[in-house]
Amino acid sequence: MSHTNELIRLVDLTKIDEKSYAFHGVDCVVVTKYNKIILQKRGGDWNRFPGYLASFGGQVESGETPMKALIRELNEELGARVKESDVVSLGAVTEAITGHTELIHVYFWRDLQNTITGCYEGNIEFFSNVQEIMNQPKVMDDTRWALEQCLDRRLLLTMDFANSKIKVIH
């Protein structure tokens, strides 16, 4: 779909040792009850990738599964109460920007129960469609890839301007 295929490597979790990566994390595309895609804009003072838009998530802690880490991170960063059954796994990836040394489990979650209470890390940015995000100059590669996966799986609504078609949310 775009250049992200060369920047992202899909990881087969059955063929790797997760401990061999320098960082083990989770990221999640989050959609509000009111169909707004929300991303975190990192402050200019952040150590890593300042000013970039990123999905919400963080590090998988010792003894924690990626799903438990995701639920904890979304609670810490958004105050959200996430049910595992409402989360869609998009896959595990590495990014060229980190030298493919970091393993990221990528997810999609829609806050149907309206549990988000705020943004407690970075600044929250609201978007009506994926094209708005793709037009931004600083978006993390795994976030772009995740959004493309959400479109391919029909998890999001967007206008495909090139073909003048509407893709429907399910």
Determine the Cα–Cα distance for residues 26 and 24; give it in Å rounded to an integer: 7
* Distances in whole angstroms, Cα of residue 49 to Cα of each of 2, 3, 90: 21, 19, 23
Band the pLDDT of 157: cuts 50, 70, 90.
Answer: low
* Better-predicted residue by pLDDT, 145 or 164: 145
pLDDT in tens, 103-135: 999 999 999 999 999 999 889 999 999 999 999
β-strands 102-110, 53-54 pairing: unpaired
Q: Give the domain ranges of the chain.
A: 4-167
pLDDT in tens, 67-87: 999 999 999 999 999 999 999
State phi, psi for 61 to the nearest 5 degrees. -85, 160
Residue (of 34, 64, 30, 29) closest to 144 by Cα position = 29
Compute the mean pLDDT over every residue in the chain, rounded to the nearest whole number: 88
Threshold 0.85, pTM exceeds: yes
Q: Which CATH class is domain 4-167?
A: alpha beta
pLDDT in tens, 36-47: 999 999 988 888
Q: Collapsing DSSP states into helix, strand and coil, what is residue 23?
A: strand
Determine the Cα–Cα distance for residues 94 and 116; give it in Å rounded to an integer: 28
| Structural tokens at position 32 | 């509000």
* Distances in whole angstroms, Cα of residue 138 to Cα of each of 103, 122, 132: 21, 15, 12
What average pLDDT does range 127-151 have in this prediction? 94
